[in-house]
Amino acid sequence: MIARVFIKPKKGVLDPQGKAVHSALGKLGFNQVRDVRVGKYVEIRLDTGDRDAARSGVQKMCDTLLVNKVIEDFTFDIADD
């Protein structure tokens, strides 16, 4: 199984990186961009065939380590290899 975790700055938390990317995109002429948020992408390859176990495992990894909930939000999905 492979889990893909998407982490981004929480709503309301300033995102200096997103702001910088947004302005750089503007300078390059991409002017339909309304907003950019930059976060982290974590890909986890798991040795298990049990999707539910995988799901609860990844949820726990996010809760304990991967995400700092003071400033970050996350979602994840799980797919077969």
Partner 1 sequence: MTRARAGVIVFPGTNCDRDTYHVVESTAGMEVDYLWYERKTLRDYQIVLVPGGFSYGDYLRAGALARFSPVMEALREYADRGGLVLGICNGFQVLLEASMLPGAMQKNKTLRFICREIHVRVERSDTPFTLLYRKGEVLSIPIAHAEGNYYASDETLRHIEDNGQVVFRYVDEKGGVTAAANPNGSVNSIAGLCSAGRNILAMMPHPERAADRLLGSEDGTRLFLSIKKALR
Partner 2 sequence: MENLDTLLKELNLTPTEYTRITGELGRQPSLTELWIFSAMWSEHCSYKSSRPYLGRMPSTGKDVLIGPGENAGAVSIGDGLAVIFKMESHNHPSFIEPYNGAATGVGGILRDIFTMGARPVAILDSLRFGEPDDSRMRYLIDGVVAGIAGYGNCMGIPTVGGEIYFDSTYRENIIVNAMAVGIAPADRIFLAKASGAGNPVFYVGSRTGRDGIHGATMASASFTEETAVLKPTVQVGDPFMEKLLMEACLELMKADHIVAIQDMGAAGLTSSAVEMAAKGGLGIAINLDRVPQREEGMMPHEIMLSESQERMLIIAKKGHEKAVERVFKKWGLDVSRIGILTQQKQIIVRANGAVHARLPLDTLVDKAPVYTRHASMPAYRAEASEERPSDQIPEPADYHKTLLGLLSSPTIGSKAWVYEQYDHSVGTDTVIKPGAGAALVRIKGSKKGLAITTDGNARYTYLDPYTGAGIAVCEAARNIACVGARPIALTDCLNFGSPEDPEVMWQFIESVNGIAAASLALGIPVISGNVSFYNETEGKSIYPTPVIGMVGLIDDIATRITPGFKDSGDLIVLLGTTLDECGGSEYLKLAGGQIPGRPPKVSPAREARLIGLVHEMNKGRMITSATDCSEGGVGIALAEAAIAGNRGAEIRIAWQFRPDRELFSESQHRILVTTAGRSLEKFKNMAHKYSVPFQVLGRVQGTHLRLDGLLDIPLEELRAAYKKGP
Q: Report how far residue 21's alpha carbon sits from residue 35's, in angstroms, rounded to the nearest whole number.
A: 9
User: Which entry of partner 2, partner 1, its own copies, none binds 41, CB below 5 to 8 A by partner kind?
Assistant: its own copies
In angstroms, what is the minimal distance from the CB of 53 to its own copies? 8
Which residue in the set 13, 33, 53, 79 belongs to the binding site for partner 1 (CB under 8 A)? 13
Phi-psi region of 12 (alpha: psi -120 to 50; beta: other; left: phi over 0): left
Q: Taking the CA atoms of 23, 28, 9 and 66 in sequence, report the sign of the dihedral they define.
A: negative
In angstroms, what is the minimal distance from the CB of 52 to partner 1? 26
Joined together, the tokens standing for residue 8 give 């981004």
Stretch that binds partner 1, among 22-30, 46-54, 55-63, 73-81 (CB under 8 A): 22-30
Which residue in the set 6, 26, 60, 68 belongs to the binding site for partner 1 (CB under 8 A)? 68
Within the chain, what is the greatest distance between any pair of CA atoms? 47
